[in-house]
Amino acid sequence: MRLSRVKLTGFKSFVDPVELRVLPGLTGVVGPNGCGKSNLLEAIRWAMGEGSAKSLRGGAMEDVIFAGTASRPQRQFAEVAILATNENGEVEVVRRIERGAGSAYRINGRDVRARDAQLLFADAATGAHSPALVSQGRIGSIIAAKPAERRQMLEEAAGISGLHVRRREAEIRLKATETNLEKVAQSLAELE
């Protein structure tokens, strides 16, 4: 999967709508301190379904919404749209958060769950925790990572992290079915 465009509105320091084209060959973003390099990377990870506010340097998810400055009022929502190309063609994923209303996702204009957006990227080995997105301090954290964390990174890179999600969901469904079967067996025993 290849990212080709990122559109941000009201996300952290990107208060005004801005559209960035990701051209072939782009490997890094440079700029003065505080210009928004990390915010940009976080916006991409957020749109991919990042669920941890802490990993986006916030206390709550709403902290990604422009908080206001001395001269500009805070915003009520933040929205990030990423356009990517995969083997099926172009896909646009949009995540939007409104104060007091939480996040909503759309894939090609259709409302979807967070899980759908997360799995779309995880299956293509470009998820919110993908080693393809190298933020500040990431190299150091890889060196210091515990073996289980390194394994997680390799699984992200291999595009199999989504399988764990599906396995967990299948296990939950299996457990529910087992409980139902036990209830049926009990009811049958009572009838006999």
Residue from 66, 81, 96, 126 touching ligand ATP (CB under 6 A): that is 66
Residue from 8, 36, 80, 125 touching ligand ATP (CB under 6 A): that is 36
Interacting positions 108-137 with ligand ATP (CB under 6 A)? 136
Give the integer Cα–Cα distance in Å for 76 and 96.
11
Q: Does 13 bind ligand ATP (CB under 6 A)?
A: yes
Pick the closer one to ligand ATP by CB: 38 or 152.
Answer: 38
Residue from 23, 27, 28, 33 touching ligand ATP (CB under 6 A): that is 33
DSSP-H helix ranges across 124-160:
138-144, 147-158
Q: Does 37 bind ligand ATP (CB under 6 A)?
A: yes
Span of 1-9, 62-70, 86-94, 163-171 interacting with ligand ATP by CB under 6 A: 62-70
Residue from 24, 25, 28, 34 touching ligand ATP (CB under 6 A): that is 34
Residues sharing a CB contact under 8 Å with residue 119, sequence separation 6 or more, in sequence order: 162, 165, 166
Residues sharing a CB contact under 8 Å with residue 5, sequence separation 6 or more, in sequence order: 19, 20, 21, 22, 81, 82, 83
Under 8 Å between Cβ of 22 and 132: no
Backbone angles phi, psi at 7, to 5 degrees: -120, 130
SS3 of the chain: helix, strand, coil, percent, to 5: 40, 25, 35
Pick the closer one to ligand ATP by CB: 26 or 184.
Answer: 26
Residues sharing a CB contact under 8 Å with residue 185, sequence separation 6 or more, in sequence order: none
Residue from 1, 22, 38, 112 touching ligand ATP (CB under 6 A): that is 38
Which residues of this protein are in contact with ligand ATP, per CB under 6 A? 12-13, 31, 33-39, 63, 66-67, 136
